[in-house]
Amino acid sequence: MRRAFALPLAIITLLSLILSACGSSTANQPAQPQVVTQIVRETQIVQVEKTVEVVVTPTPGPNPEAVISDVEAGAEITFWTFYLSPTFDKYIQDTIARFNEAYPGVKVKWEDRQATLQEEYRNSLAAGNAPDVVNIPTDWVLEFAQKDQLLNMSQALPPAVQAQYFEGLFNQVNVGGASYQVPWYQAVDGYLVNKQILEQAGLTMDDLPKTFDEQKEFCAKVKAATGIPCGLRLNTGNLLQSMAYEGNVTIMDANGRFVFDSPEAVSWLQYYVDMIKDGTTARDILLLNSSDDRIGLERFTSGQMPFYVTGPQLIRLVRESNPGLYGYLAMVPRAVGRSGKLPPVSMSIVVSKNTKYPRAAAALAAFMTNPRSMLEFSKLVQIFPSTPASYDDPFFTQPPVAIEDQVRPIARDIISRQSNILPEIPRLNEVNEIVRQAIEAAVFGGVPAEQALKDAVAQANALIGK
């Protein structure tokens, strides 16, 4: 029986020893921290606002005034202006500097020409060394365009750039349906009135003529009351223009033949024959060249005309020459001819066809005539923009103060109605000289108006082979 319990006791003894050893080892260990389990019933999110300043260096965008693409790199172009230096040196230089910002790879050499411009430009074109870009009176454009000496601006400028101008001005000189100029600054011809003479004649501002035919009657009244004649002046650079706008004369028929000997043409010429005969307009003013315009203005300034057809930009000359007259001046729209239309009175910018840099030259022409350039120029002198957007500026919308500003608020409406009603006239300069001789023969030489015009038409048609 004793053998049956021996093994279990041994096992029990062994287990006791093991447990004893384990208890001894645990007693020698440091006490462990008590872990407490917590149940999270809600989570709260705390937002912390912090302003972070980020410095960003902007990348320059395209210059909005750079409207011509693919301008020739390294282009050097010459720009001639007409009678702008020294008065407007700063404006031209500042505008060219702005152009250089838009087209940094282009260099512009600016030169101003004066009385000899037309002849110098003709000679330079003939010699093959013409300036790239030139400012000329619009009346001169046709001569050079018909000789194929100018760049076609209808092709050189994108439609969006052409649209920055009044349509009638961009297309005022067309050859073969294309424009060979961009319109620069415009003049608004009106009556510069001496109110003292009106008072002497017993007339008021309301009596000023509104139409071509009323003008003749008005001058007769002034002459009868004061002995002072009017000082009407024809456009000697384009006498057919005067004939068409004032007399509503058809210049050429559908077959390209001159027909300005019609009854309407005879009536127009007889109008001036009668006025010269009656002494109601001055003989020496009627056929003054445009370069002699200031001769007529000087006559007006000295108090020898009731009004003079000119632009408000020349009022400053009257004020300088006769300050006492300034307070008696007024500026009103001129009489409208029998055509009911108004001729453009403008300066243009053209590009010589033989330029080595046609895109750069076209870019300068468009830049000098864009809305911003035109507005800034208008603030310096009494000229008017060829760009409708320029007239949105308060400069043109605010009420006028000075006499020379009286046309400003209505200028946009006047200029928007200016358009060319003349056909493309071949050999214009030579035909114009024929017409001039006919007018002189009738007005000063006693030749009947009908005969003078009939002879002129025959000569003009022979000139063009019709």
* pLDDT one-digit tens code per residue, 284-296: 999 987 767 778 8
107 phi, psi to nearest 5 deg: -105, 140
Please report the pLDDT score of residue 17 as a whole number. Answer: 35
Q: What is the mean pLDDT of residues 380-396?
A: 95
Q: How far apart are CA 91 and CA 185, in angstroms?
A: 14
Rounded to 10°, the helix 428-443/239-247 angle is: 70
Q: How far is CA 399 from CA 402, 406, 408, 443, in A?
A: 10, 8, 9, 43
Residues listed for the chain: 466
Please report the pLDDT score of residue 436 as a whole number. Answer: 98
**Residue 5: pLDDT above 90?**
no
Q: What is the mean pLDDT of residues 379-392?
A: 95
**Residue 55: pLDDT above 60?**
no
Give pLDDT tens digits for 12-21.
Answer: 333 343 334 4
Give pLDDT tens digits for 224-282.
Answer: 999 999 999 998 888 999 999 999 999 999 999 999 999 999 999 999 999 999 999 99
Q: Which 8-state DSSP code applies to residue 281?
A: B
**Residue 386: pLDDT above 80?**
yes
Q: Which domains does the chain carry?
A: 76-186+345-416 (3.40.190.10), 190-341+426-463 (3.40.190.10)
Strand partners, 182: 349
Q: How far apart are CA 91 and CA 85, in angstroms?
A: 10
263 phi, psi to nearest 5 deg: -55, -35
Mean pLDDT of the chain, nearest integer: 88
Q: Which of 84, 129, 128, 136 is nearest to 110 (CA)?
A: 84
Q: Which of 229, 260, 265, 222 is nearest to 246 (CA)?
A: 265
Please report the pLDDT score of residue 382 as a whole number. Answer: 85
Q: CB atoms < 10 A from the CB of 401, how many?
A: 9
Is 443:453 a contact under the CB 8 Å cutoff?
A: no
List, as own/partner pairs, every contact residues 139-144 make where C-beta atoms lie below 8 angstroms and the sequence separation is at least 24, other chains included.
139/235, 139/237, 139/238, 139/290, 140/237, 141/173, 141/180, 141/181, 141/348, 141/350, 142/173, 142/175, 142/424, 142/425, 142/428, 143/428, 143/429, 144/180, 144/350
